[in-house]
Amino acid sequence: MKKTWNKRTNLVHSGNRRSQYNEVSESIFLTQSYVYETAEDAEKRFSEDISKDRFIYTRYGNPTIAMFEDKIATLEGAEAAFATASGMAAVNGALMSVLSSGDHVVAARALFGSCLYILEKILPSFGVKVTFVDGTDIDQWKGAITAQTNVVFFESISNPTLEVIDIKAVSEIARSAGALTIVDNVFTTPIFSNAFSLGADVVIYSATKHIDGQGRTLGGIILGSADYIYNSVEPFMKHTGGTMSPFTGWVLLKGLETLDLRVRAQTRSAFCIAKALVDHPKISSVIYPGLETHPQYTLCKDQMEKGGTVVSFELLGGKEAAFTFMNSLEIVLISNNLGDAKSIVTHPATTTHQRLPANQKERLGITHGLLRLSVGLEDSKDLISDLSSALNKIL
């Protein structure tokens, strides 16, 4: 019988496969296809279901990618997983593989820009109806989800305003209406995730963020039941081509080995930074789910234990103050990734959420003074001193 390991042991050992050479570090199988002993063998492999150890073409499956999928599936307690070329390939595949014309989706309004594009533009162009709700308002979910709803979609912590959505409550409403709950869990990270035990049916990660955590590759993963992954997601992904590269799979496997240490260290620093900024005279509000002042603080504690690696805050002086502050930082980089070892500051209103019309930005709280800080692995005292000096440069 397989022993049950804790997260950190699973991150290092679960899902690993060794070749005949018994290597310690996982191998990269950089191969497009696989050789058959005989023509009969080829015929047989193409006619059978793709079994876990019988690969035929890397768009369909690959040993390095399989290790990555199995490790995260074990970590999350999912029956199965499919790795994708990017986080957006995962979001698109998770939705498109189960939706068709006439279907209905209910989604939270506060979403990552490209997720919003799929829900607002692409799905409706194929005849899928999408209703948006304020994700923190359970009554709105109750009102929008009907017996005709097929899929419910939200980010467990929204970007960039860090609202925490109640996975248990929303997935209960979805389940009673017969709808599938798909959770984009990027900001929660696999370390603080309890999404499946709270009732989610499908969990998605952009592995580009914390799972790589060192700014190198794009990747994604879809986790769910064996039926959903093997009968919906896999046929859709393998025929439309959003497969992960084996090299990426290998980089991400190495990322997983240190994920727990990195995410916990970054979260500790994020908490210290949030506390240090909270009373600053040039800041009107600090948004961090691990602070008692956050509107969903109790939910955050129950759902994910800690507040995560991202802190958002609003400067009093609007865009001018935000730009002066950003341009004065010496350690923190101006960029738009998150979950990286390097701390990164983003001005959502003019970058990641630039496309949104002014009234929508306002509705989502994406003001010109709002900044998103992804806290990295630097010494938190150095970071706090960098942030304080830059705040002092604002007139």
Ligand X SMILES: *Cc1c(COP(=O)(O)O)cnc(C)c1O
Which residues of the chain form contacts with ligand X (CB under 6 A)? 86-88, 91, 112, 114-115, 155, 159, 184, 186, 206, 208-209, 218, 220
Rank residues 87 and 199 by Cβ distance to ligand X and give the closer one: 87
Instruction: Give min distance, CB of 183 to ligand X, in A.
Output: 10
Q: Using alpha carbons only, what angle is made at residue 312 by residues 143 and 392, rounded to the nearest 5 degrees?
A: 150
Closer residue to ligand X, CB minimum distance, 209 or 347:
209
Nearer to ligand X, 300 or 321 (CB): 300
Cβ atoms 392, 283 nearer than 8 A: no
C-alpha neighbours within 13 Å on the C-beta side of residue 268:
10
Report yes or no: 317 and 284 within 8 Å, Cβ to Cβ: no
Q: How far apart are CA 85 and CA 219, in angstroms?
A: 5
CB of 110 to ligand X, least distance (A): 10
Provide φ and ψ at 82, rounded to 5°. Answer: -135, 125
C-beta closer to ligand X: residue 108 or 180:
108
Between 14 and 245, CB nearer to ligand X: 245
What's the closest the beta carbon of residue 158 comes to ligand X, in angstroms? 8
- Residue 10 or residue 346: which is nearer to ligand X going by CB? 346
Exposed / middle / buried, residue 390 (Cβ in 10 Å: 0-12, 13-18, 19+): buried
Let me know: does 242 contact 84? Beta carbons within 8 Å: yes
Q: Shortest gap between Cβ of 204 and ligand X (angstroms)?
A: 7
Ranked by CB distance to ligand X, the top (closest) residue is 87
Q: Least separation, in Å, of the C-beta of 208 and ligand X?
A: 3
The Cβ of residue 200 has, within 10 Å, a number of other Cβ atoms equal to 28
d(CA 207, CA 202): 16
Cβ proximity to ligand X, 75 vs 119, nearer residue: 119
Of the candidates 191, 211, 195, 215, which has an alpha carbon nearest to the alpha carbon of residue 203?
A: 195
Minimum Å distance from CB 147 to ligand X?
A: 29
Q: Which residue has the tokens 């509000």?
A: 285
**From the CB of 22, what's the least distance to ligand X, in Å?**
33
State how beta strands 310-315 and 370-374 pair: antiparallel
